[in-house]
Chains A and B, each alone.
Chain A
Amino acid sequence: KDASTRYTMITNGGPLFVYVKAGRILRMTPIDFDDKDAASWTIQARGRQFTPRRQATVAPHALAMKSAVYSDKRVLYPMKRVDFDPHGERNPANRGKSAYVRISWNEALDMVAGEIQRQKRVHGPGAMTIAHGSHHQWGNVGYYLSALLRFGNLIGFTRVAANPDSWEGWYWGAMHHWGHSQRVGIAGNYGTVADCLQECEMIVFWSSDPESTNGAYMGFEGTQRRLWAKELGIEFVHIDPHFNPTAQLLGGRWIPIKPTTDPALAQAIMHVWVVEDLYDKAYVDERTTDFDAWRDHLLGKDDGVPKTPEWQAHETGVPAAVVRALARQWAGKKTYLAAGVAGSGFGGAGRGATGAQWARCMVMMMAMQGLGKPGINMGNLQAGTPVDHEFYFPGYADGGISGELQWNGNAVNNYQKMPHVITVNPVRQLIPKQQFPEAILQGKAVGYLWDGLATELQFAPFEYPAPGYSPIHMIYKYGGSFFSTLTQSRRMEEAYRHESIEFVVNQSIWMEGEAQFADLILPACTQFERFDIGEWGSGGGYLQHGFNGLNHRVVALQHQCIEPLGESKSDYEIFSLILQRLGLGAMFTEGCSELDWVKRVFDASDVARHVSWKEFCRKGYFVVPPEKPGLEPAVNFRWFAEGRVKDIAEPQPLPSQWSGEFGKGLQTPSGKFEFLPETLRRGDPDNPERPVLNRYIPAWEGPRAADTAAKFPLQMIATHSRYSFHTNVDGKNSFTNDIQDHRVRVRGHAYWVLRLNSEDAAARGIRHHDLVKVFNDRGAVICAADVSPMVAPGVVKSFEASAEYQPVEINGETVDIGGALNILTSARSQSRSTSSMAPNSCMVEVVVWNEHAVQRKAA
Chain B
Amino acid sequence: MIVIYHCYGRAHSSVIAAYLHLGKLPMQGPVTKEQIMAVPEFDLAEASDWGRPYFMGRDPDANEVFILGLNSQTQICSRLIYSLAGQLRMADQILLVNTLTAIGLLTRIGGFLSKQIRWKRLGKPLAAQGIVHSLPKLRRLVTAVKSQLQREEPGAEETVDYHY
Instruction: Answer yes or no: are A and B bound together in one complex.
Output: no
Residues of chain B whose beta carbon lies under 8 Å from any beta carbon of chain A: none
